[in-house]
Amino acid sequence: MKLKATLLSLSALLLAGMVQAQDGWNWPSDVAMEGKAREYNAAYVDYMKSDQFVSATKPLYWLLVNVPNLNESIYINGVAIYDGAAKEITDAAKITVYQDSVIALYSKRGEIFGNEANWIENKAYYGYQFYKDDKEKLKIPVADFEKALEINGKINYQLVPAYFNLVYRNFAYHQAYTGDEILTMYDELNAILDAEGAKGTDVSGQKGNMEQLLVAMELIDCDFIENTMGAKLKADPTNEALADQIFKYSVQYKCYSSAVFLQALEMKHAKEPSFSTSQVIAMRYMQEEQNEKAENMWGQAYTLAENPTQKSDAKMELAKIYARQGKKSAARSAAREAAELDNSKTSDVYSLIGGMYMNSFNDCKGGESRARDYSIYIAAYNAYQRAGDSQGMANARARFPSKEELFTEGLQVGATLNTGCWIGESVTLATRD
């Protein structure tokens, strides 16, 4: 995880808590004891100032045991001393003792002086550094981060990846959370990052680390979104926050076919209507053959379109819906509008129109004139020709009237005839032979 660069920058923040003295000293009433306490207090401070942390632990330990309520400074400085001592040596067992002492100092400080809100984050971060690889001890900083959130309502944004890293490990080692609980934590921590980002801070690194960890947990898939999250939305259909979450994860994990995605998208569209949301909803309605709903939604998409291409897309889809509903005249009008808005659609538009003409024989035939009845295929041929559809042109030509049929009705090739019916086009007579 790319936490190192982010978290090392916190070292200065934590070490800044070192102090040499504070108000509220509680010196022993016994003169000899007081003298010894003053001597050891000065000694550990001198060692600390010269970065002799292991040496500093000895007089400090005497103070912690014999005058534990002397002053809060011995705990503040003690954290830096024991942490420094752990880094000063190589013996693994002693390192562990010193690190445990850091955490114990925070706990003892809380018992005597309180003020957890001021230092609980620091304790949690030290715990993260010391215990993240320890299956059992990592529960200590997890609890401290939870307490920091409980007390302060937030944590420093730089600590967010460290906390979520512990969540990841706690889940991996102990299955400590349900999928829903992890997603809730993820969203709450992301909200902290979003708030910091709104101030102009670059939080992309923290967000990237969070996302890597979430993916690594393998919690979310289409089944989880549909069945687990979907069940919650079904029980609480007005929960916009949950709907937003479902929409986000559905897009992220490409789960577009589920019913809950459509429900979430409908809620998002109702709150923030846009061309893109109406377009996707309309396409889903079309897949489910809910033509009236699709028609209404494509109408909204046309209204919400931001440019002629989007308007053309909406009109073209409306044309397809009208054609499916048998509203052929409306379909042709919508298709022609689509081509006017975006001439790159000309081929598709006139292939659609040609197809509607070809399928209109039974609706349009009058039975009195074969030339007129079959003239719709000439209109279809013209549409296919404009579309550049050679296969469509060949199919239409095969249905032209014959020379004999024109002769029988006293008509000639090259004459003009109106198709009548809803098509209503004047065509130049031609024959199939």
pLDDT reported for residue 240 = 87
- Which amino acid is present at 333? S
What dihedral do alpha carbons 169, 167, 193, 149 form, nearest 10°? -140
* Residue 62 Cα distances to 41, 58, 74, angstroms: 9, 7, 11
pLDDT reported for residue 16 = 37
What digits encode the pLDDT tens for the residues 51-94?
999 999 999 999 999 999 999 999 999 999 999 999 999 999 99
What digits encode the pLDDT tens for the residues 112-160?
999 999 999 999 999 999 999 999 999 999 999 999 999 999 999 999 9
Written as six digits, the tokens of 146 are: 């939870």
What digits encode the pLDDT tens for the residues 315-353?
999 999 999 999 999 999 999 999 999 999 999 999 999
What domains, with CATH codes, occur in the chain?
A: 273-341 (1.25.40), 357-428 (no CATH)
Contact 40, 63 (CB under 8 A): yes
Contact 297, 281 (CB under 8 A): yes
Burial class (CB in 10 A: 0-12, 13-18, 19+), 238: exposed
* Range scoring the smallest mean pLDDT among 7-11, 73-77, 81-85, 368-372: 7-11
**What is the spatial distance between Cα 393 and Cα 381, in angstroms, rounded to a whole number?**
5
pLDDT reported for residue 11 = 42
Q: Which residues pair with 428 in a beta bridge?
A: 416
**What is the spatial distance between Cα 35 and Cα 30, in angstroms, rounded to a whole number?**
9
Arithmetic mean of pLDDT over the chain:
91
Residue 289 main-chain phi, psi, to 5 deg: 60, 35
Q: What percent of the chain has pLDDT over 70?
A: 95
Comparing 72 with 224, the larger pLDDT belongs to 72
pLDDT reported for residue 23 = 57
**What is the spatial distance between Cα 356 and Cα 350, in angstroms, rounded to a whole number?**
10
pLDDT reported for residue 158 = 96
What digits encode the pLDDT tens for the residues 247-288?
888 888 888 888 999 999 999 999 999 999 999 999 999 988
Contact 86, 100 (CB under 8 A): no
What's the average model confidence in pLDDT over 402-416?
93
What's the average model confidence in pLDDT over 417-425?
95
pLDDT reported for residue 187 = 87
What dihedral do alpha carbons 102, 158, 52, 46 form, nearest 10°? -90
pLDDT reported for residue 70 = 97
Q: Residue 224's closest CA among 182, 185, 169, 173? A: 182
What digits encode the pLDDT tens for the residues 12-50?
334 433 443 345 899 999 999 999 999 999 999 999 999
**What is the spatial distance between Cα 55 and Cα 81, in angstroms, rounded to a whole number?**
9
pLDDT of 430 higher than 60:
yes
pLDDT reported for residue 4 = 39
pLDDT of 7 higher than 80:
no
pLDDT reported for residue 338 = 97
pLDDT of 208 higher than 80:
yes
